[in-house]
Amino acid sequence: MMPRLAILGSLSLSVGMMACGSDNNGGTPDSPIVTPDAPTTTVDAKLPDAPAPDAAAHISGTVAVHDVQLLQADGTPDPAAGHGGQITISFTPASQPVKSVNHDQGPIPCNGSYSVAASLRAAVDEGTVTFTTMRGTGAGTPIPDCTFQASTGGYLCIGDQGNGGTIAAAANNAASGFLTFTDSNNAKVFASAQVGRYLILAGGGANAGDAFPITGASGNQLGLVNLPALGSLPFTLSGPFIIAAGVGPVPASSNVDGSGLAAPPDFLVDGDMIKVKLTPGGGHNIAMYEDALMPTGGHLALDAATKTALSANGSGVGTIDLTGTKDFTISLDAGNTGAGLGIVVTIDATDATNFGAHSLGTPTMFSGSITCAAIAATSVTIPKDIMGVIGMMNPTILRVSVFRDFADLSAPFNFVAGHGLVTFLKTH
pTM for this predicted structure: 0.87
Q: Centre a 10 Å sphere on the Cβ of residue 414 and count the other Cβ atoms it contains.
A: 31
Same domain, 285 and 376: yes
Is there a single domain that holds both residue 121 and residue 62? yes
List the domain range (segments joined by +) for residue 166: 157-245
| Co-location of 14 and 121 in the same domain | yes
**Do 420 and 315 belong to one domain?**
yes
Indicate whether 238 and 387 sit together in one domain.
Answer: no
Distances (CA, A) of 373 to 20, 105, 133, 193, 328: 9, 10, 25, 34, 13
Q: Are strands 59-70 and 414-426 parallel, antiparallel or unpaired?
A: parallel
In a domain, 135, yes or no: yes
Q: What total number of domains does the chain contain?
A: 2
Residue 297 CA to residue 20 CA, distance in Å, equals: 19
Answer whether residue 303 is part of any domain.
yes
One digit per residue, the tens of pLDDT, for the chain of length 428 reads 333 344 443 333 332 333 333 333 443 333 322 222 333 333 444 444 444 444 345 888 999 999 999 999 999 999 999 999 999 999 999 889 999 999 998 878 899 999 999 999 999 999 999 999 999 999 999 999 999 998 889 999 999 999 999 999 999 999 999 999 999 999 999 999 999 999 999 977 788 889 999 999 999 999 999 998 988 899 999 899 999 999 999 999 999 999 999 999 999 999 999 999 999 999 999 999 999 999 999 999 999 999 999 999 999 999 999 999 999 999 999 999 999 999 999 999 999 999 998 999 999 999 999 999 999 999 999 999 999 999 999 999 999 999 999 999 889 998 999 999 999 999 99
Same domain, 39 and 112: yes
Clarify whether residues 100 and 135 are in a common domain: yes
- Of the three residues 245, 279, 299, the one that is the final residue of a domain is 245
Residue 252 domain-assigned? Answer: no
Q: Are residues 80 and 108 in the same domain?
A: yes
Residue where one domain finishes, among candidates 245, 280, 310: 245
330 and 212, same domain (yes or no): no
- CATH number for position 225: 2.40.30
- 217, 71: one domain: no
Domain co-membership, 7 together with 109:
yes
Residues 420 and 276 in one domain: yes
